[in-house]
Amino acid sequence: MGKSLIIVESPAKVKTIKKFLGAGYAVQASVGHVRDLPKSSIGVDEANGFAPHYEVIAGKEKVVASLREAAAKADVVYLAPDPDREGEAIAWHVAELVKDKNANIKRIQFNEITARAVREALAHPRDLNVALFDAQQARRVLDRLVGYKISPLLWKNVKRGISAGRVQSVALRLIVEREEERRAFVPEEYWVFKSLLEGATPPPFRAELWKVEGKKPQIPDAAAAAALEEALRGQPCVVRSVEEKERSRPPQPPFTTSTLQQSANQRLGYAAKRTMNIAQRLYEGVELGERGTTALITYMRTDSVRIAAEAQSAAAAYIEGRFGKDYLAPGGKRDFKGKAGAQDAHEAIRPVDVTLSPEDVKPHLAPDQYQLYRLIWSRFVASQMAAARFHDTTVIVDCGLAQWRARGERLLFPGFLALTPRGKEEEGVELPPLAAGDALTMKELTREQKFTQPAPRFTEASLVRELEELGIGRPSTYATIISTLQDRDYVTLEEKHFAPTDLGRVVCDRLRDHFQTLMDVGFTAQMEERLDKVAEGGQDWVALLRDFSRDFDPTLAAAAKAMNQVKTGVSTDVACPRCGKPLVVKFGKTGEFLACSGYPECRFTSNYTRDEKGQIHIQERVKPELEKVGVCPECGSDLVIKMSRAGSRFIACTGYPKCAHTEPFSTGVPCPREGCDGVLVEKSSRRGKLFYSCSAYPKCDYALWDKPVQESCPACGSPLLVEKTSKARGRVLACPEKSCRYVRSLEEGEAAPEDDASLLSLAEPKGDC
């Protein structure tokens, strides 16, 4: 009898699965998708049922040939790509390519890469799920129609090379409209009062002004604040009431794709794309010394909070052994209810083996892998623990015409907080013993001027949450949506918050004006629901596309006639400092810039920034002195440090324009990503803010805002530190890992490495700056 062939997606899985399958199985990888729509044409026959024209992806010919050869030698072919819509599509396309070599094809899937799960899958193979494939195919064709038909309009009228996307464009609209809301916001002044009260038993405690003459206080200006302070000072204070109650706080459910992305962004500072890349490695398997290649987490693309019974039992045993029986959830397990419409085919994200604690595997993991595994492991174990219990106290104090309110809490039983303790900023304050009628002394009375604030810009975490709540896209697509918006220069990430660029605003305006249905949040969410129905077998995918085209095609034709061009620039009210004519915003190959509308008579150009209200500020260009750093490898002329238009340094040949050789300015610090041989180089954002990224980009997207220093962190082992400025300590060296708080002052005579010859080593590979 010949071997059975198992085809998975990634080479990493091949190694993990081979470890526990016998000699009767061959395991090969498709290395992701093997077929797709062509890049050079739309590839969809709209006149014949939207039939797609698929072709083997360029560069995958050898992979396909190898799979066909292996299939011909096997008794049975098991298709085992990831257990989701995209994985089903990969399985379908592989089947189409090998079925003439071996028609005995079965589909298997597993939520975790363990011997038990793989053998269970092999024991229960199934046929390919046509409905699930149709759902992926419908989504792919739909996105192709939108992208390939609208993008040329943007090339013609805005800037060549940009794109529109069915979901991406709606996500852009959310960011743009949040910015519009912020710019239109008019802050209102208000004042808050706080007091320090003391009773017969210490310590003193803080209270906030709650009511004035029985109503919520309205203190709009300094005059009203001063008058109220005068009325409050010197008044006797008496405890009116003390309300005490017990409160329990249950743990959160284990992670879904969306909540993992949000938490990793909030707690670790990881972008959604980075989080998913790390999770993929943990799912596929990492080397754990004597254990060999071991999968650490279950499948990371899931909407479900369901946990398998055996995983709950394993968690209960671990919790009881480490903390005791009292720390178990009631009944020894805790189940969670998923949100409406969640895809429940797979479990929540959890550790494969709960007994493998983060500290057990830390020596074998890269720092970011360890941090993410610890996040997943802790969240899962905590989800199966008892609730934390608190004793809450609310005290109301009468003081003349006003009432003050103080709140306190006392932890009665930590429950899951024994595993995941709160930070100091989350901990409540315990109040002293108080009773109604107790006299209090006001030790301190303070007032503070404040202003109402606009809605904050989206962070990655809050944008992911918003997309999920609105039903836009699917959690597995959020990382791609966000990275595409950044890659197209539609948004920038400023201090961890998304701000739309002028290019992003112009694109959004054009799409809102001419494609109202496509840009409608409700329509996009409804389309996701219809695609889900296709996956469930309740909606014909061709009928879905016909319905979409019925509105889209005439809208597209109208937009082609009515969309106006902005290639000459977007008008501003800023005068050219040279000739006085209005400046315009233009979109060039290297980003946005200001140019004089009097061109070619006036050739003034400049970078610029916008403030919170959207006002333009011209950036002055500082021309640095040229510093020789080497010899050009192409022509032998001197290499010197130059300044880019955006503000970062780069290395260029003095023989320009005859020799156009350039290289990025290297920090000399190796990229800390596992398996990456790049170095960190100086770059600048479109807004002129310096950052440091890997020279191997786009293969590696590691980046830092702060200057890296080649020194490992003594606290967590991070391979580098960063130089930054602290208000409290001045210049410091700090660990870039968000979960590590290592900081060392540089203000006491210790110097950080400077830009000497060691930092002027030229980065490889050479590239365009």
Asked whether the bond before 698 is cis by omega within 30 degrees of 0, the reply is yes
Q: Dump the DSSP string for 91-150.
A: HHHHHHHHTTT---EEE---SS-SHHHHHHHHHS-B---HHHHHHHHHHHHHHHHHHHHH
Instruction: Indicate which residues carry an active-site annotation.
Output: 299
Q: What is the DSSP string of 667-704?
A: EEEEP-STT---EEEEEE-TTS-EEEEETTTTT---EE
* CA max distance for the chain: 96
**Rounded distance between C-alpha atoms, residue 556 and residue 112, angstroms:** 45
Provide the 8-state DSSP code for 326.
Answer: G
Q: Tell me the residue type at 520.
A: D
Q: Determine the 3-state secondary structure of 378 from DSSP.
A: helix
Q: d(Cα 162, Cα 176) in Å, to the nearest integer?
A: 17
How far lies 410's CA from each of 199, 397, 413, 438, 615, in Å? 19, 20, 9, 21, 49
CA separation for the pair 397, 402 (Å, rounded)? 8
**What are the CA-CA distances from residue 108 to residues 8, 80, 87, 190 (Å)?**
10, 5, 11, 62
From the number of C-beta atoms within 10 Å of its C-beta (0-12, 13-18, 19+), residue 95 rates as buried
Torsion of CA 683, 689, 690, 695, to 10 degrees: -30
Distance, CA of 352 to CA of 140 (rounded, Å): 32
User: Which residues touch 659 (CB under 8 Å, ≥6 apart)?
Assistant: 632, 634, 635, 637, 653
- Residues 230-253 as b or e (16 or more Cβ within 10 Å = b): eebeeeebebbebeeeeeeebbeb
In whole angstroms, what is the distance from residue 661 CA to residue 652 CA? 6
- For residue 261, give the nearest of 234, 300, 297, 290 by alpha carbon: 300
Q: Residue 41: is it exposed, middle or buried by C-beta count within 10 angstroms (0-12/13-18/19+)?
A: exposed
Q: Which tokens is 732 given? A: 């410091």
Comparing C-alpha atoms, which of 503, 463, 661, 490 is closest to residue 586? 503
Residue 754 CA to residue 739 CA, distance in Å, equals: 27
The single-letter DSSP state of residue 203 is P
Contact yes or no for 77/106 (Cβ under 8 A): yes
Residue 418: DSSP 8-state = G
- Identify which of 761, 755, 753 has the alpha carbon closest to the alpha carbon of residue 629: 761
Cα 456 to Cα 437: distance, rounded to the nearest angstrom: 43
Joined tokens for residue 370: 């360890």
Q: How far apart are CA 555 and CA 518, in angstroms?
A: 10
Report how far residue 346's alpha carbon sits from residue 301's, in angstroms, rounded to the nearest whole number.
8
- Say whether 327 sits in a helix, a strand or coil: helix
Q: Residue 248's beta-bridge partner residues?
A: 389
Query: Interior CA angle at 418 toward 414 and 424, to 5°?
Result: 85
Total residues found in the chain within this entry: 769
Question: Cα separation of 398 and 464, whole Å?
Answer: 45
- Give Cβ neighbours of residue 313 (< 8 Å, ≥ 6 apart): 332, 333
